Each structure stands twice: as C-alpha cells, then as structure tokens.
Amino acid sequence: MPAEKKNKFLVHILDDNARDQLKVYFRNLETELGREGMGTALFNVVQELVTNAVKANVKRVFFEQNHYDLEDPAAYKKGLEDFRVFFRSLDAGSYRQTLRDMELSVRVDVDLDHQRLLIFVRNNTIMMQQEEVRIRKNLAAAMGVKDLVEFSVHYGDESEGNGLGLAMVVLLIKDMGFDPGFFRVYHNEGQTTARLEFPLSADYRPLRKVAN
C-alpha cells in the first residue's frame, strides 16, 4: 500500500534538469506502486502536459510583446500563425528570465494516498475561449481512436499543433489500464489546470462524484 505523500515541482522552462527531476521521481513512484512501466508512462504524460503549459506561457509573452488584441478574433488568429513560426526556432531558455519576471510558471503537484494518485499540472495563463473549445474538441476526438496514426489521419489537420500531444496523453492513460474519462483540463482563479486522476482502490469515489 503506497504511503501518503504530496510533492510539487516548479518549472519555468522544461530543461534537462527539470526533466531529470521528474523522470527520477516517477521512476521511484513506479517502484512504490509496484506497477511496472507506469513510471515511464506517467513521466511521458506529465512531460507532454508541462510542455504544453510552458508553451502557453511563452505564447502569452509573445502576444503581449507584439501587442496582439486577444479579444479580436482576426488578430488572435494572426497572432497564432505568427507564434507557430516564432516557436519553431525559439531557444526556450532565452525566455526563462522573461517568464520569471512576468511570474509565469508551471507547477506540478502530486497527491498520493492508498485510494488514488492525483497529478495536477497548472500554469498561470488562462485559456482563451477559442483554446478551450479546441482542447475539448481534441480530447473528445482522442477518446475515440485506437492509436496516434488514426488520430493523425482523421484529425491532424484540425488539431492546430497540440492535438497529437493530447491524444498521446489519452492513449497512455488507456495503456496504463485507467479510464481517460477522469482526465480533465479546466481553468479557474487565474490558472489553467490539467488534472490526472488514477484510482488505486476499488472503493475510490472519483472527484467529480464527490463534488456533486
């Protein structure tokens, strides 16, 4: 039976040091849970979610520095197109201090007890309505495919770059033997949160049921 524990990691840029810390942590967690392969899968899931969160923070800086109007759909669309070009050649490390100065960070919280494992990946950049719609659409599509190839064939042109990552998260959750329907992405109180929920006990009540 796993011991109760809470751990947190603060990330501005997902560099080698941050990756190594997360990789070692989830490798040790795999040993504690006694579930072979789960540590690697959890690391890959969290790495993808942290990467997306860091990218969202960098996008926020890019939009502010270039004065795109987030409330204007045309300006927002143009900003996204320009950001994709910019991000391909970006040395993310060069943005580290800017993100610190703007107090933009990503926090990973792990909450474990004998009934469940909860992982929260939070960044303090709120999703725009267009982004939330796109994420929910990509998640719904990912739930219905058997692999990344199928997702890419059917939805690759519509995912705007982040769909494959979310599909990978959903598929890895399935491969670990858990219900991807527990995976949530939402925003509140100035933060965007990706929540991973893994029941470890047959009598565990999911958070959504506890809230009702």
Query: Quick one: what percent of the chain has pLDDT higher than 90?
Result: 46
Q: What domains sit in the chain, N to C, each tagged with a CATH number?
A: 5-211 (3.30.565.10)
- Condensed to tens digits (0 to 9), the pLDDT of residues 77-105 reads 899 889 988 888 877 777 788 888 888 99
Task: Name every residue whose Cβ is closer than 8 Å to that of residue 165 and which is 6 or more positions away in sequence.
Answer: 48, 51, 52
Question: Could you give the CA distance from residue 21 to residue 38 in angstroms, rounded to a whole number?
Answer: 16
Helices (H), 69-147: 73-88, 96-101, 129-143
- Condensed to tens digits (0 to 9), the pLDDT of residues 55-81 reads 999 998 899 899 998 888 899 889 988
Question: Is 172 in contact with 159 (CB distance < 8 Å)?
Answer: no
Q: What is the pTM of this model?
A: 0.89
- Condensed to tens digits (0 to 9), the pLDDT of residues 147-159 reads 777 777 666 655 4
